[in-house]
Structure 1
Amino acid sequence: MTVTITKQAEKYLEALAKALEIPHSRYEQAEKSYKSLGDWLHRDDSGVKNFDPDVFVQGSFRLGTVIKPQSDEEEYDVDCACALNALGKSNISQFALKELLGEEIKLYRKNKGIKKEVHEGRRCWRLEYADGAQFHMDIVPCIPNAADQRLLLEARNLDARFADTAIAITDNEVPQYYEITEDWPRSNPRGYAEWFKSRMGDVFIRRREQVFNEMRSEGVTASVEDIPTYRVRTPLQSAIMILKRHRDTVFADDPTDKPISIIISSLAAHTYEGEKTIGYALLSILSRMEQAIEHDGVRYIIKNPTDALENFADKWEEYPERAQAFFGWLEQAREDFSSAGRLVEYRRMSSVLANRMGRDITDQASDAALQPSHPGGSSLLGAAAAASSSSAPSVSFADTPRTPKKPDGFA
C-alpha cells in the first residue's frame, strides 16, 4: 500500500503536533522545581550535601516530547534523577541510598508547604504538588556507574560511547536491595538523551540555530549550546508526540498492554532518517518501525542504544499479549495516518483521526490549518516543500509479512 502525503496533510499534521505541545512555561516550571530541590540538597545542614548531589531531569521532559494531558484531571509526570556523586556501590546499599535521599525529600516537602505526603515508588520518591500545579515529580536515587558500565560493555565488545554518564539506580523489588553489592540496576538517561539528539542530526542543529537567532532578536542573551532541547522542535520529536497521543487514545481502556513510551521513542529515533517535515517523518517512521526490532527465534529484542544488554521489550516474553498489542497498534497507526495523508480537506482529516487522537485536538488542528499562512511561520516545512515541489513524497507500506532483523546503528 502506497501512501502519498499531500501538502494539505503536511500542514494539518504540523498543526496537529502544535496542538499537542505544552507551553514553554510548563517546561520552565519543571526545571524550576527540580533545581529548587537541588538547591535544598546543597543547603548547609543538608544530610547529603557532602555527597555532591546532582538533580537532573530525564524522560520526555528532557527529550522534548511531552504532550498535553487528555483532561484536566491528568497530571504531567516530571521524571528526575538525583545522583549522589561521592558515593559508590561499595559503601552503600540501594535501600540505604533511597532512605537517605527520601529523608531529605520529606524535609523539602515540609519546608515548601507541600500538603501531600511524599509517596515511595518501586524506584523513586514522588513529590505531589498542589492540585492547581497539575504535575508531580518522580525522583530516582542513583550513584555514578560509568567505570563499571564501560568495563561491562567493552568486555563484550559492545558500544560504550555513552558509558561516561551511566548511573546505578534503586529498585525495591530486586533481591539484593538491602545488600551492599556491585549488582545494581543500570540506567543512563543522559546518555540516552545524547543518543536521541544525535538521531535528530542536522535538522536539530539547524533548528537550534534558528531558535537562537529568534531569541537573540528578542534581546535574550544565551549561547547556542544553552538552548534546551524542548525549545528545538524537530520532525522526530513531533512525530513521537503524535504517536504517543494516538497510543494513549487507542489504549484508553487497556493501560496494561499499552506500548511504553521508551519503546515508541527508541523505534522512532532509530528509524528516523532526517526527514524535513512532520508528515513525511511520521509516515516514514511508521513504515520502518519493525526494522528496529530484533527477534532471536524466541523473543523480541529492542536494545537500549546506550546499553545493548538492556532489552526494552523484556516484558513481551512474559506477556506476549503486549507484543501483539504493539504490532496491532502499529498497523492501526499506519492505516489512520496513511488515510489522512491522502486527503486535501482538513475537516475530513479531522474526521479520520478524531477517534484516535481526540476530537478536541483534531478540531484544533483543522482550525489552525485553515488559517492563512504567515510569512516565516513554518520555515522547516516551507524549506522542505520548496525543495520537493516537483513531486509529493510517498511512503510504501509493504503488504507482505515482515521479519524483524537486527536494527542498523545498534552495537
Structure 2
Amino acid sequence: MTVTITKQAEAYLEALAKTLEIPPARYEQAERSYKSLGKWLHRDDSTVKNYGPDVFVQGSFRLGTVIKPESDGEEYDVDCACSLTKLTKSSLSQARLKELLGEEIKAYRESKGIQKEVHEGRRCWRLEYADGAQFHMDIVPCIPNAQAQRLLLESRNLDARFADTAIAITDNELPEFYEITEDWPRSNPRGYAKWFKSRMGDAFIRRRQQVLNEMRAEGVTASVEDIPTNRVRTPLQSAIMILKRHRDIMFADDPTDKPISIVISSLAAHAYEGEDTIGLALLSILSRMENAIEHDGAKYIIRNPTDALENFADKWEDHPERAQAFFRWLAQAREDFSSAGRLVEYRRMSSVLASRMGRDITDQASDAALQPTRLGSAGLLGKATAASGTAAPSVSFADEPRTPKKPDGFA
C-alpha cells in the first residue's frame, strides 16, 4: 500500500512530537543530579576518589529521546553510569565494584536528606528522589574495557571503531559475579550515542545551527559548542519519541512483551535516511524498520552497532511472543500513521490517533497545529512542504511482513 503525507499531517506530527518533549528544566535537573553525585565521589574523604570516578548520563536522556510520562504519577528514569577508571577486571570482582559504589551512593543519599532507601537492581543502584522531583536515577557501576573490547572485535574481523569508550558492567544474576575474572558483561553507552549522532547526520548540524540562531535572536551570546545536545531535536529523535509513546499505549496492559526502547531506537536510526521533516522521517522509518533485523534460520538478531557480538533481540529466542509483539506493533504503527498521513483536518488526525497516543496528547497537538507560530521547528517544516503543495514524497509499506535479512553495512 502506498501512503502520501499531506502538509497538514506534517504540521500535526510536528506538533505531536512537541507535546511529548520534556521541559528543558528536566534535562537541567537530571544534569545537576548526576554532576552532584560526581562531585560527591570526588570529595576528599570519598572511598573511591583515588579510583578516578567518572559519572555520565546514558540512555534516552543522552540520546535526546526522553518523552513525558503518561501521567503525573509516573517518574522519569535517568540512566547513568559511574566508571571507576583506575580499576581493572583483574583487580576486583563485579560484586566488589558494585559494593564500593553502593556504599558511596548510600552515604550520598544520607548527606542529601533523601528519604527513600537506595535500591539494588540487577545491574545498577537506584537513587529515589523526593516525590516532587518526579524522577529516579539508575547508576550502573562499571570500569573501562576499551582494550579488551578492541581485541575481541578485531579478532573476529568486526567493526571496532567505537571500542575506545567500551565499559565492563556488573550483573548480580551471573554465576561469576563474585569471582575475579575477565568475563564481565559489556556495554558502550558513549559509543552508542556517538553512533546515534552519526545517524542523525546533517539534520543534527542544521538543527543545532537553527537553535543557535534562535538564541542569538533573543540576545544570547553563544557559539555552536555552547548548545547542549538536548536542545537539538532532529526528525529522527522526534520520530522515535512518537514511536515510543505509541508503543507504551499499545502495550499498557502487557509490559512484559512490549518492544524495548533500544530496539526501537536502533532500528529507527538504521532506517533514517536524513529526511528533513518529522512526518516524512516517521513514515520512511516505518517502511524500512525491518531492514536491520537479521534471521540466521534459528533466531532473530538485532546487532548492537558498537558491538556486533551483542544481540538486542537476544530475549526473543526464549520468548518468541516478544518477537511476535514487535512485528504486531510495527504493523499497527504503519497502519495508524499512514492513515493519519493521508488526512488534511487536524481533528480527524486526532480521532485516528487518540486511542494509540492518548487523547490529551492528540488534542494538544491539533490545537498547536492550528496555531503554527507555536511550533518550534517551523523553518524545517516550511522548507520541506513549500515545494510540495499538498503532499510530500510517497513512501510504501509492504502488504505482507518482510523476511528479515542480513543488512548491508550494518554498523
Normalising TM by the smaller chain, what interval? over 0.9
Q: Who is 1:131 aligned against?
A: 131
Query: How much has 1:399 moved relative to structure 2?
Result: 1.5
Give unpaired runs (5+ residues) of structure 1: none
* Counterpart contact for 2:161–2:306, Cα < 8 Å: yes
Distance 1:113 1:316 in 2: 42
Q: Who is 1:34 aligned against?
A: 34
Distance 1:180 1:397 in 2: 51
* CA root-mean-square deviation: 1.4
Q: Who is 1:276 aligned against?
A: 276
Distance 1:77 1:353 in 2: 26
Query: How much has 1:175 moved relative to structure 2?
Result: 1.0
- TM-superposition CA deviations, 1:42-81 (whole Å, max 9, x none): 0000001111101000000000000000011110000000
- TM-superposition CA deviations, 1:365-390 (whole Å, max 9, x none): 01111125479961111111134448
Give the paired residue count. 411
Q: Who is 2:168 aligned against?
A: 168
Structural mapping, 1:279-290, within 5 Å: 279-290=279-290
Give the fraction of aligned pairs with identical amino acids, expressed as a percent.
Answer: 85
TM-score by structure 1 length?
0.98
Q: Who is 1:360 aligned against?
A: 360
Distance 1:263 1:93 in 2: 30
Matched AA of 1:175: P
* Counterpart contact for 2:65–2:241, Cα < 8 Å: yes
Q: Who is 2:327 aligned against?
A: 327
* Counterpart contact for 2:53–2:84, Cα < 8 Å: yes
- TM-superposition CA deviations, 1:94-129 (whole Å, max 9, x none): 000000000000000000000000000000000000
Q: Who is 1:198 aligned against?
A: 198
Q: Which aligned runs of 4 or more in structure 1 are off by greater than 3 angstroms?
A: 216-223, 372-377, 387-391
The answer to whether 1:248 aligns with 2:245 is no
Matched AA of 1:177: F
Distance 1:376 1:117 in 2: 40
Distance 1:394 1:230 in 2: 31
* Counterpart contact for 1:270–1:409, Cα < 8 Å: no
Q: Who is 1:266 aligned against?
A: 266
Structure 1 residues 176 and 11 mapped into 2: Cα distance closer, same or farther (>3 Å)?
same
Matched AA of 2:88: G
Distance 1:390 1:38 in 2: 52
Structure 1 residues 119 and 401 mapped into 2: Cα distance closer, same or farther (>3 Å)?
closer
The answer to whether 1:148 aligns with 2:153 is no
Q: Secondary structure at the match of 1:136?
A: strand
Distance 1:356 1:401 in 2: 21
Of stretches 213-222 and 306-315 in structure 1, the one that deviates more from structure 2 is: 213-222
Structure 1 residues 46 and 6 mapped into 2: Cα distance closer, same or farther (>3 Å)?
same
Give unpaired runs (5+ residues) of structure 2: none
Distance 1:221 1:14 in 2: 28
Q: Who is 1:122 aligned against?
A: 122
* Counterpart contact for 2:4–2:391, Cα < 8 Å: no
Structural mapping, 1:27-106, within 5 Å: 27-106=27-106
Q: Secondary structure at the match of 1:408?
A: coil
Q: Secondary structure at the match of 2:137?
A: strand
Matched AA of 1:265: S
TM-score by structure 2 length?
0.98
Structure 1 residues 376 and 303 mapped into 2: Cα distance closer, same or farther (>3 Å)?
closer
* Counterpart contact for 2:93–2:178, Cα < 8 Å: yes
- TM-superposition CA deviations, 1:251-310 (whole Å, max 9, x none): 000000000000000000000000000000000000101111000000000000000000
Distance 1:251 1:169 in 2: 29
Q: Who is 1:303 aligned against?
A: 303
* Counterpart contact for 2:385–2:391, Cα < 8 Å: no
* Counterpart contact for 1:303–1:312, Cα < 8 Å: yes
Distance 1:17 1:376 in 2: 10
